[in-house]
Amino acid sequence: MTKRITLPPQSGTPSDVERIKDESNYLRGSLAETLENPISAGIPDDDNRLMKFHGSYLQDDRDLRNERRRQKLEPAYQFMVRVRAPGGVASSEQWLVMDKLANKYGNGTLRLTTRQAFQMHGILKWNMKKSIQEINKALMDTLAACGDVNRNVMCNPNPYQSEIHSEVYHWAQKLSADLSPQTNAYHEIWLDGKKVVDSKKTEEETEPLYGKLYLPRKFKIGIAVPPNNDIDVFSQDLGFIAITKKDQLIGFNISVGGGMGMTHGDTATYPQIGRVIGFCRPDQLLDVAKKVITIQRDYGNRSIRKNARFKYTIDKRGLDWLIKELNDRLGWELAEAHDYQFDHNGDRYGWIKGNNNHWHFTLFIQNGRIKDQADYPLMTGLREIAKIHTGDFRLTPNQNLMISNVTDDKKQEIEKLIKQYMITAGEQHSALRRNSMACVAFPTCGLAMAEAERYLPSLIDKIELIIDEAGLREQEIVIRMSGCPNGCSRPALAEIGFIGKGPGKYNMYLGGSFVGDRLSKLYKENIGEEEILASLKPLLFQYAKEKEENEHFGDFVIRVGHVKAVRSGLDFHD
Ligand code: SRM
Ligand code: SF4
């Protein structure tokens, strides 16, 4: 018998995506057939919606769009494939598979995402099945990397405390596995799994947590380990803050309702900061996550997708309502939150010896892109390291990479390769660049309004001239750029944030905190490079001259009155 989930009455007509999910027979749609269709390199819109749940998006190369239109050709269709890696952990074998697929089927580059996952771009429809099969053979998958479900679970890569990392990573893996969709569609479509459900009879298939409509919108979970807030716990729909006592994990504070996305000019949408509502023991964590998800499943807005994230569900009904609903569903009450302290949200680079006597090397990867350049053969170097590395790789939440668990005897060998391939921890860069992130944007992202990954490095070249002159080269300042207001690089939490408005134009935001617990505020609207530099120069010089001891830039611009502090998304547009 199918377990039916009764949803509370929802106001408004369900969005078209709800229809697509409803008619999809648990995420099948006509995907199997359209993937075989040789006429077009693309797939129809309805199937593309479902494709996301399988971890992939149909895209087209936007650099070629106009020319192809002129030539009356269909767009240069290609697929982006996102591979889940809970907590960003991958073995050397898995790294080599990612590298091989990116070169064999993709555009020859790999992308480490802001949620510690891998992305490959440029895969043609004809190669999709082979790619996903090889990913699965390497014991990784793409299911639920995108779509209206729980996404890749983030966790602090923590090289310092190995026991805490392995415990927290265990919970990230558990969350990832337990919250995965149960449909057999993924196996059927990609892995030639046996067809368990007749397309006309859906009776046997169940989706116990999600139901056949899945969630109203994407859902994100991350676990932070203070003092590092590298996963930006307050940007997560559901965040866990590890609480330790005498180096033992005793449980987690629970933060709810964070999110970054908004739409320009629509004040009913806004980035929001998660709010801490209580504490649970480790053995209660899965129960909490599942019950929170069912609340969002039942009460999230299924009519207007841009208001469907959990943050809006909470802001509409109130935090007290949420806590009561959660306690009722749990059948027990959350304990009071514990004290905790974050002191930064970026990565710490270079070699670190963990308390298991293994070494960890964190290297700066500009905007998460792994590729070979004439003077920097990064992709080849990492491939050679993976061939001999016996530990693991950890993708950091800031698009960087950690070569982890290196034993004393392997360290020398790896150091030799690091030198041979000119791989660095980023020490030649300013602290500003080392704290920078940019989303993908052009040419692959269909939603990009302005460049991000391809532009931020050259903008930083110019800002570096200012900071050098101001004597701020080693001053850590978090700077982030997104090509549109969806905020994939979490710019609303940066000390300096840029959000694309149109080609070459950005809104500039200031005043996020260095620890990621305060939103930024609009400072200048729709400005190009000249005005960005002209705006930043006096601010950075004033900061260099007037900053108090240990004062971060984001705090400074608020103290001296350049922008107001924003502690709730509800005040973001004021
Ligand atoms: Fe994102 C949509 C890339 C992290 C908020 N994001 C997209 C799409 C899939 C565009 C699309 O829908 O057509 C982008 C694909 C670009 C490409 O060509 O690869 C895209 N998002 C990314 C990645 C790859 C950025 C990166 O440079 O690393 C990140 C992949 C994460 C992962 O591994 O799962 C990525 N996206 C984020 C984050 C940051 C995070 O999760 O920590 C956010 C803000 C947090 C949040 O969700 O609130 C984010 N992406 C969005 C949104 C806005 C959602 C909203 O609430 O309004 C969209 C648009 C949407 O969902 O409609 C979006
Ligand atoms: Fe694309 Fe916008 Fe996300 Fe950048 S922020 S990857 S432009 S959706």
Q: Do 435 and 490 form a contact (C-beta atoms < 8 A)?
A: no
Q: Provide mean pLDDT across the span 530-558.
A: 98
| CA–CA dist 114, 414 (Å, integer) | 26
Q: Do 340 and 253 form a contact (C-beta atoms < 8 A)?
A: yes
Specify the ligand 1 atom closest to the Cα of 309: 56
In the sheet that 392-395 helps form, which strands lie side by side, from edge to edge?
A: 89-91, 392-395, 401-406, 359-363, 350-353
Helix-, strand-, coil-residue percentages of the chain, each rounded to 5: 35, 20, 45
pLDDT band at 1 (very low <50, low <70, confident <90, very high): very low
| Distance between Cα 486 and ligand 1 center (Å) | 7
Neighbours of 119 (CB within 10 A): 25
| Degrees to nearest 5, angle at CA 400 with 395 and 404 | 50
What is the structure's pLDDT at 161? 86
How would you write 301-312 as a 3-class SS string? CCCCHHHCCHHH
441 lines ligand 1 (CB under 6 A): no
Helix (H, G, I), strand (E, B) or coil at 551: coil
Which of the two residues, 11 and 491, has the higher pLDDT score?
Answer: 491
Ligand 2 atom 2: the closest Cα is on which residue?
A: 484
Point out which residues pair with 362 in neighbouring strands.
350, 402
Specify the ligand 1 atom closest to the Cα of 52: 9
Q: Do 98 and 370 form a contact (C-beta atoms < 8 A)?
A: no
Phi and psi torsions of 219, nearest 5°: -140, 135
Q: List strand residue ranges (DSSP E) for 441-563, in order.
A: 479-482, 496-502, 505-510, 521-527
Q: Do 249 and 266 form a contact (C-beta atoms < 8 A)?
A: no
Residue 213 has pLDDT above 60, yes or no: yes
235 lines ligand 1 (CB under 6 A): yes
| CA–CA dist 149, 353 (Å, integer) | 37
Q: Do 486 and 477 form a contact (C-beta atoms < 8 A)?
A: no
Q: Provide mean pLDDT across the span 256-280.
A: 97
Q: Do 519 and 492 form a contact (C-beta atoms < 8 A)?
A: yes
Residue 121 has pLDDT above 60, yes or no: yes
Q: Strands 275-280 and 248-256, how do they pair?
A: antiparallel
Ligand 1 atom 57: the closest Cα is on which residue?
A: 261
What is the structure's pLDDT at 2? 40
Residue 11 has pLDDT above 80, yes or no: no
Q: Do 196 and 204 form a contact (C-beta atoms < 8 A)?
A: yes
**Amino acid identity at 56:** S
Contacts of 439 (CB under 8 A, 6+ apart): 114, 445, 452, 453, 481, 482, 483, 488, 489
pTM: 0.96
| CA–CA dist 77, 54 (Å, integer) | 18
Helix (H, G, I), strand (E, B) or coil at 134: helix
pLDDT digits (tens, 9 = 90+) for 298-335: 999 999 999 999 999 999 999 999 999 999 999 999 99
Unique residue bearing structure tokens 């971890």: 55
Mean pLDDT, the chain, rounded, equals 95
- For every residue of 330-354, DSSP letters joined together read HTSPPBPPPP----B-S---EEEE-
**Amino acid identity at 137:** K
Contacts of 479 (CB under 8 A, 6+ apart): 432, 435, 436, 456, 460, 463, 494, 495, 496, 497
What percent of the chain has a predicted confidence (pLDDT) above 90? 92
pLDDT digits (tens, 9 = 90+) for 45-73: 999 999 999 999 999 999 999 999 999 99
Is 82 assigned a catalytic role?
Answer: yes
| Distance between Cα 178 and ligand 1 center (Å) | 22
486 lines ligand 2 (CB under 6 A): yes
Secondary element (H or E) of residue 442:
none
Positive or negative, the Cα torsion across 12, 571, 480, 342? negative
What is the structure's pLDDT at 3? 47
What is the structure's pLDDT at 6? 56
456 lines ligand 2 (CB under 6 A): no
| Distance between Cα 114 and ligand 1 center (Å) | 9
| Distance between Cα 121 and ligand 2 center (Å) | 14
Is 220 assigned a catalytic role?
Answer: yes
Q: Do 277 and 252 form a contact (C-beta atoms < 8 A)?
A: no
Is 445 assigned a catalytic role?
Answer: yes
| Distance between Cα 67 and ligand 1 center (Å) | 27
Point out which residues pair with 369 in neighbouring strands.
111
- Determine the length of the chain: 574
- For every residue of 175-204, DSSP letters joined together read HHHHTS---SHHHHHHS-----S-TT--TT
Contacts of 518 (CB under 8 A, 6+ apart): 273, 493, 511, 512, 554, 565, 566, 567
Q: Provide mean pLDDT across the span 445-468.
A: 98
Q: Provide mean pLDDT across the span 415-444.
A: 96
pLDDT band at 7 (very low <50, low <70, confident <90, very high): low
Ligand 1 atom 12: the closest Cα is on which residue?
A: 447
